[in-house]
Structure 1
């Protein structure tokens, strides 16, 4: 199982949110410095989110993100502010290994097929942000239907992987909710990366045992509640 530290960027700064609320942001400083640190500590890749894009300011941070992704050969997946095929293609043509489509994938599901046909399924990840079993879009403000049904539809359209974020526990640093993860993994036919609530090496171990392909570490990592080395050890223990 792979570990992806989150580098979430809001107004040019690396931040972590609680329950996706920008007013609850904790600021950690220079995104590029954090990206380099996590890679130096052995992360399998980076999970980069343009939060200004997620909240409707799509171009903000783009130059900053491109600058530090060009510095590394490490795997980078990116989400936030991707509102069109052209947005996604722009990232895939330059610096990013995989784009994450969330609101766009729900609003216009056929973009998954379009991008998968052009760039390959492996570079297209469908984001499933769920609260109470419902997919949430538009900055986690609007419900859009059951998360398992959407997962199946995204797979059928050609998504090469899924990012499942449990909004109910995201940012709270109180551990994962394993049942919705295992329910998804039981049905998914493509790799699933899990985000939300991962706060200990025990959480990572549980996800690995359940069959997750990867885990995104955010708030608990930055707060020092879990160390990257501990998470990496738990993720790769059985390999």
Structure 2
């Protein structure tokens, strides 16, 4: 069961996500880092555990009001062996290919930004591309074809339940299990609501290959010892 820490960046700072209500996101205060600077937070997470992968959501790019590529490049330079899954609001095939130019970045296509599914279809066979199926409550964000037709799915799929992010409500295990059953050998990752080891165990039983986690790491509900035990299994 892979744990993938999450960094949400807005206006050059890491913010604490709350239930998908982006207007309420504020700069993070965490015992893992001396500031909310993206590199500081990344360093704090890597000091906690030698993670193989870090997920970055560039909220300014997702909302089409700027971007934080400089911060992402600095993290790449500081941790050249770290894989970065980057959601930067990809809206076209060209944008996805541009993101893939960086050797340490795997581009994440978020369904909320992907209206023209057909234009992205060639990427489903690209091993570096990741699809995020985004939900706000029961509402799917994006073209319904992406959730209904697994022929569009690449090798890795994130089931993103935004309303549970940072809300302490637990992950949507049933939804993750439903997608895992349809995955046909693809790897499914859960995002949103993980509170600790019990939730990770439930997601593993449901068929998830891993989970994206933020709050539980910063609040100490997933400890260094927990992460070591997971890595040794």
TM range (shorter): 0.7 to 0.9
In the alignment, what sits opposite 2:188?
Answer: 192
| Among candidates 119, 128, 151, match of residue 123 of structure 1 | 128
Contact 1:77-1:97 within 8 A present in 2 as well: yes
Q: 1:174/1:134 Cα in 2 relative to 1: closer, same or farther (>3 Å)?
A: closer
Three-state SS of the structure 2 residue aligned to 1:172 is: coil
Q: Whole-Å Cα distance in 2 between the matches of residues 12 and 27 of structure 1?
A: 10
Structure 1 residues 136 and 52, CA, compared in 2 at 3 Å: closer, same or farther?
same
Structure 2 match to 1:44:
52
Deviation, 1:132, is 4.2
Match of 2:20 in 1: 20
Q: Which residue is 1:32 aligned to?
A: 39
Q: Which residue of 1 aligns with 2:69?
A: 62
Q: Give the superposition deviation at 1:152.
A: 5.1
Structure 1 residues 23, 195: CA separation in 2 closer, same or farther (over 3 Å shift)? same
Say whether residues 1:167 and 2:175 are aligned partners.
no
Give the superposition deviation at 1:202: 0.8
RMSD: 2.3
Number of residues of Structure 1 aligned to a counterpart in Structure 2: 223
Aligned partner of residue 192 in structure 1, secondary structure: strand
Contact persistence 2:200–2:211 (CA under 8 A): yes
Distance across 2 between alignment mates of 1:115 and 1:188: 17
More deviation in 99-108 or 177-186? 99-108
Which residue among 131, 136, 160 is the counterpart of 2:141? 136
The answer on 1:114 being equivalent to 2:122 is: yes
Residues 157 and 13 (structure 1), Cα distance of their counterparts in 2 relative to 1, 3 Å cut? same
Is the 8 Å Cα contact of residues 112 and 159 (structure 1) preserved in structure 2?
no
The 2-side partners of 1:230 and 1:202 are apart by 11
Q: What is the CA–CA distance in structure 2 between the aligned matches of 1:199 and 1:90, rounded to whole Å?
A: 35
Greater fraction strand: 1
Unaligned runs of 5+ in 1: 138-143
The farther-off stretch of 169-178 and 108-117 is 108-117
